[in-house]
C-alpha cells in the first residue's frame, strides 16, 4: 500500500464560521484573517494505492461552477487535483474508487466535470462511494444546509450508474463511532455532528493507523474541544464525537490527516494540562 497527499486549490472561508464560539481575539492568532474576516483553508485529498485499486478520498471544489460562485471563495494557489495526481504518476482515468466523506461542495465538487452542455463523472472508471442516509440528506437538504449541497456535483454520478453505498451499521453507537470494513486495510467511521453520516476513512499503513479527519477536525486548530465550526448541524453531537475520537486516538496513537489545514498535513496527539493537543506535526510523505 502507498498513500499520497493530494493538494488542490486553497480557498477562503469566514473565520467566525470556521471557529464557532471561539472569539476572534483567540483564533486570529492561529489562522489570521484578512480584511474581510476570511481565512485560508486547504482542500487536501488522499490517494490510496491498495493492490489493484486506486482510491481517492474526496476531490475538492472542482472547476465547473460559475465565476460568481467561485468569487465567494477566492480560490488561489498553484495546486489542482489534476496537477497533484500527475505529480504522483496518475490521471483521473486511473482512479478505481472515490470515497466521498460527505457531499458538501468543497469535498465533492471535483466529482463531476462539464463536457460541453453535459455534466459527466470526472472519474469515468471509478465507483463513487457514499451511504444511503447521507445521500438522502444531501438530495433532500434542510434549508440551513442546502447551499452546501449542489445537485450538479452529485446527481450525474447516480445517473451514470457509478454510485454505490457503504452500509451504515445498525447499532447507533457503531453508526457514529465504530469502524466499518471497506477493504482489508480501510475501514469507515461514521459521525453525524457536522452533517448526517459523514464518513472518515481509517487506514492501516506501515503498522500505523491514519484517520482522514474530513470536517470532524478540519485542522490542527480544531483539536481543542470548544473549537467547533458554526457550519456543523449538531454541534453538541460533534462535541461528543470529538471527545470519543480524541480519547481513542490518543490511547491508540493514531495519526490524524487534515483536509482543511492550510499548513499541517498530519499530527499525533499528547495529553497536556489543557487537554488533548497535537504532539508531532509532519507531512504524510515523512512516514
- If one looks up domain 2-286 in CATH, what number appears? 3.60.15.10
Each of the 287 residues of the chain gets a pLDDT tens digit; together they read 999 999 999 999 999 999 999 999 999 999 999 999 999 999 999 999 999 999 999 999 999 999 999 999 999 999 999 999 999 999 999 999 999 999 999 999 999 999 999 999 999 999 999 999 999 999 999 999 999 999 999 999 999 999 999 999 887 554 444 557 899 999 999 999 999 999 999 999 999 999 999 999 999 999 999 999 999 999 999 999 999 999 999 999 999 999 999 999 999 999 999 999 999 999 999 99
1 to 49, 91, 183, 223, 253: CA distances (angstroms)? 5, 18, 12, 28, 20
Residue 233: φ, ψ to 5°: -70, -35
Domain residue spans in the chain? 2-286
Q: Which of 157, 257, 243 is nearest to 203 (CA)?
A: 257
Residue 232, classed as helix, strand or coil, is coil
Q: Which three cell numbers stand for residue 132?
A: 444511503
- Residue where the block lists cell 465547473: 64
Which helix or strand (DSSP H or E) is residue 135 part of? helix 132-139
Can you give the pTM of this predicted structure?
0.96
Q: Which of 41, 88, 111, 105 is nearest to 260 (CA)?
A: 41
Q: Which residues contact 272 (CB under 8 A, 6 or more apart)?
A: none
Buried b (16+ CB within 10 A) or exposed e, 168-181: beeeeeebbbeebe
DSSP structure class, residue 10: B
Amino acid at each position: 500500500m502507498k498513500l499520497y497527499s493530494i493538494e488542490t486549490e486553497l480557498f477562503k472561508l469566514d473565520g467566525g464560521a470556521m471557529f464557532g464560539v471561539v472569539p476572534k481575539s483567540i483564533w486570529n492568532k492561529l489562522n489570521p484573517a484578512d480584511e474581510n474576516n476570511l481565512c485560508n483553508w486547504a482542500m487536501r485529498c488522499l490517494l490510496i494505492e491498495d493492490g489493484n485499486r486506486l482510491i481517492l478520498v474526496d476531490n475538492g471544489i472542482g472547476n465547473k461552477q460559475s465565476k460568481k460562485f467561485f468569487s465567494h471563495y477566492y480560490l488561489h494557489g498553484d495546486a489542482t487535483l489534476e496537477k497533484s495526481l500527475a505529480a504522483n504518476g496518475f490521471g483521473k482515468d486511473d482512479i478505481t474508487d472515490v470515497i466521498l466523506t460527505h457531499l458538501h461542495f468543497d469535498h465533492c465538487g471535483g466529482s463531476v466535470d462539464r463536457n460541453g452542455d453535459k455534466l459527466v463523472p470526472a472519474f469515468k472508471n471509478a465507483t463513487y462511494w457514499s451511504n444511503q442516509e447521507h445521500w438522502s440528506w444531501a438530495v433532500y437538504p434542510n434549508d440551513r444546509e442546502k447551499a452546501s449541497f449542489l445537485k450538479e456535483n452529485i446527481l450525474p454520478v447516480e445517473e451514470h450508474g457509478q454510485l454505490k453505498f457503504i452500509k451504515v451499521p445498525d447499532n447507533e453507537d457503531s453508526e457514529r463511532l465504530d469502524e466499518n470494513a471497506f477493504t482489508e486495510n480501510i475501514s469507515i467511521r461514521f459521525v453525524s455532528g457536522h452533517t448526517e453520516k459523514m464518513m472518515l476513512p481509517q487506514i492501516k499503513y506501515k503498522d500505523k493507523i491514519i484517520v482522514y479527519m474530513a470536517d470532524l477536525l478540519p485542522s490542527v486548530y480544531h483539536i481543542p474541544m470548544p473549537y467547533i465550526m458554526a457550519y456543523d448541524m449538531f454541534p453538541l453531537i460533534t462535541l461528543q464525537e470529538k471527545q470519543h475520537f480524541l480519547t481513542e486516538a490518543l490511547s491508540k496513537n493514531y495519526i490524524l490527516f487534515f483536509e482543511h489545514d492550510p499548513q499541517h498535513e498530519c499530527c499525533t496527539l499528547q495529553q497536556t494540562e489543557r487537554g488533548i493537543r497535537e504532539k508531532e506535526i509532519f507531512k504524510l510523505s515523512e512516514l
